Amino acid sequence: MRRIFTLIFSLFILSACEKGGGDESEKKLPDAELKTEVLTQSLVFPWEMVYGSDNYIWFTERAGKISRLNPKNGVIALVHTITEVNSTGEGGLLGMALHPDFNNNPYVYVIYDYKSGTNYRGKVVRFTFNNGVLLEPLVLLDQIPASSNHDGSRLLITPDMKLLVTTGDANTAANAQDTSSLSGKILRINLDGSIPEDNPFPGNRIWTYGHRNPQGLVLANNKVYSSEHGPNNDDEVNLIEKGKNYGWPNIEGFCNTTTEKAFCALNEVTEPMMAWTPTIAPSGLIYYDSDYLPQWKNSLLMVTLKGTKLVQLKLDETGDKVTGSQDFFLNQFGRLRAVCQSPDGKVYLATSNGVDDKIIEVSTK
């Protein structure tokens, strides 16, 4: 069933708190007049969405389903179910990426949790899409420490044909600073699973470390951004750079206590672009640069779970700073997990309420 909502937003600016202090340079952005349409419902914890070159929305559901949604008519085709998925707690089949040259290399990359004996583990697998189904699973990375939460699990293929993989600390905070552990990191591998020669630590898959639970990952103008869950304070958006330490668990948000300042100086910690207290539980993240919705041009669009909203973060010309922010869809659809964009500029949201979850199209009125 397709339902249409017309919404005119007049919402307040999102507060970005640096443990009690905001940045006065962050401006309230213009309101936007938007239309939303529910394309499909009755889903169960959709986690990732990718708008494919085939003009279908590919999406995962935590229990193990990979499907394609036709945005023109709302019809869903199931392409595969991964039966070894363990979806206890917040785990399961999570992130997904499609090969950038999908027509010639019809590869689908996913990351999911499974049980290895009594332990939770994560693995990255490549499938081949053929005649409407996924075949030929190839394991690229295995034995990632996992847990019932704090699993990260976004995937991103960069223009140099490398695969970035976010991992959470798997409920063991010390993992994030341990460069012998795959947990609490953003990893970087070749598309065949091997380790790139230009990674910052020779023979190591680690690209960055010191992460708690990074659940958003996007490339924009040759820069990589990530959204990350904090503990009871300091959710973050980070600019991801090769070899950098992002501080967790020693640093929460900015380096602004005496202990944190000492650790940051000693370990060359990279501070976030923004941090939120109270927390909003940030998840999926895209970069919007279309003229279709001019109010959102040159912005990060981030969906939130606890915050139950989409947050627009306007970037400056360098992409190094957020200059303004605005909230959309506050309390309209509940918890929002994933976001993607079509080539013509429409935006799609996936809810994560556990009951009657939806994929929603956002367009201009």
Model confidence pLDDT, tens digit, residues 8-58? 333 333 334 434 334 434 677 877 889 999 999 999 999 999 999 999 999
Domain count, the chain: 1
Contacts of 327 (CB under 8 A, 6+ apart): 11, 12, 13, 14, 309, 310, 311, 312
Say if residues 243 and 225 touch (Cβ distance below 8 Å). no
Indicate if the pLDDT at residue 245 is higher than 70: yes
Indicate if the pLDDT at residue 235 is higher than 50: yes
Provide the pLDDT confidence category of residue 121 given band limits of 50, 70 and 90: very high
Count Cβ neighbours within 10 Å for each residue of 18-37 and write b for 16 or more, e otherwise.
beeeeeeebeebeebebebb
Coil, helix or strand at residue 173: helix
Residues 291-330: tens digit of each pLDDT: 999 999 999 999 999 999 999 999 999 999 999 999 999 9
Strand 133-145's sheet: what is its strand order? 93-98, 107-116, 119-130, 133-145
Residues 250-269: tens digit of each pLDDT: 999 999 999 999 999 999 99
What is the 8-class DSSP label of residue 207?
E
- Quickly tell me which residue has 């957020």 as its tokens: 322
Indicate if the pLDDT at residue 63 is higher than 80: yes
Nearest to 302 by CA among 315, 318, 320, 317: 315
Our measurement of the distance from residue 185's CA atom to the centroid of its chain's CA atoms, rounded to an integer in Å, reads: 14
Q: What is the pLDDT of residue 27?
A: 76
- Quickly tell me which residue has 């020669």 as its tokens: 197
DSSP E strands, 131-220 = 133-145, 155-157, 162-166, 185-190, 206-209, 214-220
Q: What is the pLDDT of residue 166?
A: 99
Q: What is the pLDDT of residue 354?
A: 95
pTM: 0.93
Nearest to 93 by CA among 135, 42, 146: 146
Residues 216-226: tens digit of each pLDDT: 999 999 999 99
Contacts for 22-30: CB closer than 8 Å, 24+ residues apart: 23/274, 23/322, 25/321, 25/323, 26/322, 26/323, 26/324, 26/325, 27/314, 27/323, 27/324, 28/324, 28/325, 28/326, 29/295, 29/312, 29/314, 29/324, 29/325, 29/326, 30/295, 30/326
For the chain, percent of residues with pLDDT exceeding 90? 91
Mean pLDDT score, 332-361: 98
Indicate if the pLDDT at residue 71 is higher than 80: yes
Say if residues 3 and 74 touch (Cβ distance below 8 Å). no
Indicate if the pLDDT at residue 6 is higher than 70: no
Residue 81's domain comprises: 3-364
Which residue type is seen at 268? E
Considering just the CA atoms, what is the radius of gyration of the chain in Å? 19
* CA pair distance 362, 358, nearest whole angstrom: 13
Mean pLDDT score, 63-72: 99
* CATH for 196: 2.120.10.30
Burial of 344 (0-12, 13-18, 19+ CB in 10 A): exposed
Q: What is the pLDDT of residue 26?
A: 64
